[in-house]
Amino acid sequence: MNFSMLKLAPRAMAVSCSEDELIVALTDGRSLHVPIAWFPRLAHASPAERADYELLGDGEGVHWAQLDEDISVAGLLAGQGSVEVKGAMA
């Protein structure tokens, strides 16, 4: 991947969670909606814990310090959930 591709990669600008979904608003105008069940730490967290996030770098990822959870925008775009979910499915 070259620098121009990295520069154009979508970045997160806001995050919210419902009981069923993780919603990530991207800088290019799209919103990603993925099942919150893909991320057990978020699924089992309180609304206050889910709302306590920070964007990593210039929005290439999201970090929840209280939950020890990190999610990349690239991973979401690729349809990747938590490794905890992958391990349970193996």
pLDDT tens, position by position, 49-75: 999 999 999 999 999 999 999 999 999
- The pLDDT assigned to 7 comes to 60
Residue 2 inside a domain? The answer is no
Determine what percent of the chain is predicted with pLDDT higher than 70.
87
Q: Is 38 helix (H, G, I), strand (E, B) or coil?
A: helix
In a domain, 1, yes or no: no
| pLDDT range class, residue 90, cuts 50, 70, 90 | very low
Domain at 85, CATH number: 3.30.2020.40
The answer to whether position 85 is within a domain reads yes
